[in-house]
Amino acid sequence: MLARLGQREWALIAIALTLVVALLWYFLLIVPMRQETETVRQEIERLIPERNRGRQAQRALPELRAAIAELQAERQAFLRALPREERLAQVLNEILTEALRSGVTVRSFTRSPTSAPVPEVRAVNLALSLEAPFPETYAYLKRLEELSRFSSLSGVNLSVQGQDVNPLLSTSLTLTLYVLAKDLGQPEGATQTQGAPSPPGGQGGGR
């Protein structure tokens, strides 16, 4: 049968085979290559912003290191400024002395541990119940805020007793003191679970 094919038929067969090979080459090689090229192009476009951010971060690295060093220095200064835990009794005595100096009566006084901002620091909440006229109470609160250590006041509640011109105020507040822990391996609040004794009645009441 093939022997009877003429030159024209052989030419048509050659053209057909060429078209088939071209189609196979296009769909099996060119199309996948184009798809892969498009995928690579999209990946490059996605990575360009990340590369730019990485370069920006690299340029900002010295400034970041300087900021970290500054924060570490501030942290060390914060820790050095704190009183040590073994001086807590002295701190409490100073608070009661300030009450006496301000003419404020401390009716009750309790302490309890609380959470601290960093592991090296212990925090103690002091719940105070005070009694004094407004000027003395205000002066005492100002002195508490000006203590030579890191502390914070919260939960201040005032109530008036009597109808006098300068009536007594019953004040309750929480003073949080921060002290440097003497033993970082000790469980949080292990040395602070015992309540502080209440001061003698009528302390600082003279005005």
Taking only the tens place, the pLDDT of each residue in 166-199 is 778 888 888 887 777 754 444 444 434 333 444 4
> Looking at residue 26, what is its pLDDT?
83
Token pair listed for 20: 């088939």
> Looking at residue 202, what is its pLDDT?
41
The pLDDT confidence band at residue 74, using thresholds 50, 70 and 90, is confident
Residue 144 gets which letter from DSSP?
H
Instruction: Give the mean model confidence (pLDDT) for residues 142-166.
Output: 76
> Looking at residue 206, what is its pLDDT?
38
- State pLDDT tens for residues 88-115: 777 788 888 888 888 888 888 887 777 7
Beta-carbon contacts of 34 under 8 Å, excluding residues fewer than 6 positions away, are none
- Among 141, 143, 149, 151, residue whose Cα is nearest residue 173: 141
Q: Compute the Cα dihedral for 134, 139, 145, 151 and give only its sign.
A: negative
Strand positions, DSSP E, 115-167: 121-133, 151-161
- State pLDDT tens for residues 16-59: 888 888 888 888 888 888 888 888 888 888 888 888 888 888 88
> Looking at residue 5, what is its pLDDT?
63
- Among 101, 126, 125, residue whose Cα is nearest residue 115: 125
Decide if pLDDT at 10 tops 60.
yes
> Looking at residue 13, what is its pLDDT?
81
